[in-house]
Amino acid sequence: MMLRIKRVPTVVSNYQKDETEETARRSSGCGKNCLRSCCIPGAKLPLYAFRKLNNIESEKVVLGIENKEPPVAFLDSLILGEVIPGEYGFVAQLNEGRHLKKRPTEFRVDKVLQPFDGNKFNFTKVGQEEVLFQFEASEDGEVQFYPSAPIDVENSPSVVAINVSPIEYGHVLLIPRILECLPQRIDRESFLLALYMTAEAGNPYFRLGYNSLGAFATINHLHFQAYYLAVPFPIEKAPTKKITTLNDEVIISELLNYPVRGLVFEGGNTLQAMSDTVSDACICLQENNIPYNVLISDCGKRIFLLPQCYAEKQALGEVSPELLDTQVNPAVWEISGHMVLKRRKDYDEASDENAWRLLAEVSLSDERFREVNALIFEVIASGEDGIEHAATSLPKEPDTKAESTEEESTITKTSHRAMVTASLNPKYS
């Protein structure tokens, strides 16, 4: 019998309402205490200055092995969710109303890269009271917390803000360089910041996720999501097959026995090496208009990269009405195994089989996954120069079946060159 959990109330931020509902601007700003130029001059927010790590060994200090107490707890952990009985341990959570109260998507779902549009909702429009703290590297190498620090407008701060449409208590957003108004696209600098956040949290139950446009990101303003959940995600327990080890000791593996095909990145001599490898892979996907999700787990030491095609299948009418009726848009948390369900019926009938059936629709086919892997490994092998080349190398829709077969054969050969002898890693709990 499945354990029951409390419902999570969903609210809509006052600062996410339609622009027609805005109050008249006042001499002191727009009246909403937002993060735009009308309200930000002279404003102050808490500041968490993290220790910048040079290598993986330095994590011992951050993760609490040293007896030194940090100046403030990074985030409080408030946990909800129960495990579905079964082999895989999918987590079922009933969150009625989130899809009705959450701000609707305001951009095309068939393009991964789209320009930032300041007229649409973005995070500069939220109230300053929704920002928990600024998050930046410490200048003196020591973790510091300042309850009230000026906002450096010239050097746009990265901030951690509450998520007003949460799937968990403690659900937050990391918004890199918020005042630069970056669109939802990964770059090396922002991805490294996300890794620092997971390392700083120092808790294996704290995970950070990213959804690209086309993979159920709902706001085109660069952001990551994060929260605590005190159970292993099924994706974290799935076995993997090693593909290769890079020169900087980053290990790349492939997920096995899991409904969504994906790559797993582990190890690396430095956080920078891990970040550069994964962010380059992400850049490759978005430049080729391939929607994807990312899960950063194990304090930044394991990263899952998951290209997906659910929205494309929806548009083509290839998803069954039964699955569409669940109103579940499988983004990073659902793909990882935390099934956020919208209807009581689906929650009551939650099972491994139902979760697997939904997630199987998210996954690329094996053939397409091999093609995408070939692009990723080409970029990783050639460095930054390969990103531009890879953006033009994805085969277009062929006019004839013969052309298709020839192109696919080429892709397969490229993929084989990039891979080495594999070994199987066991499951872990």
Residues that are catalytic? 223
Residue-by-residue DSSP string for 1-65: -PPP---------GGGS-GGGPPPPBTTBSSS--SSTTT-TT-EEEEEEEPPPSSGGGHHHHTT-
| Collapsed DSSP state (helix, strand, coil) of residue 196 | helix
**What's the sign of the alpha-carbon dihedral 136, 140, 145, 151?**
negative
The rounded distance, in Å, linking the Cα atoms of 295 and 247 is 23
253: closest CA among 99, 421, 103, 97? 421
126: closest CA among 228, 11, 49, 234? 11
| Collapsed DSSP state (helix, strand, coil) of residue 346 | helix
**Amino acid residing at 114:** Q
By the 10 Å C-beta count (0-12 exposed, 13-18 middle, 19+ buried), 412 is classed as middle
Which pair of structure tokens corresponds to residue 199?
């390392």
Which pair of structure tokens corresponds to residue 114?
């789209």
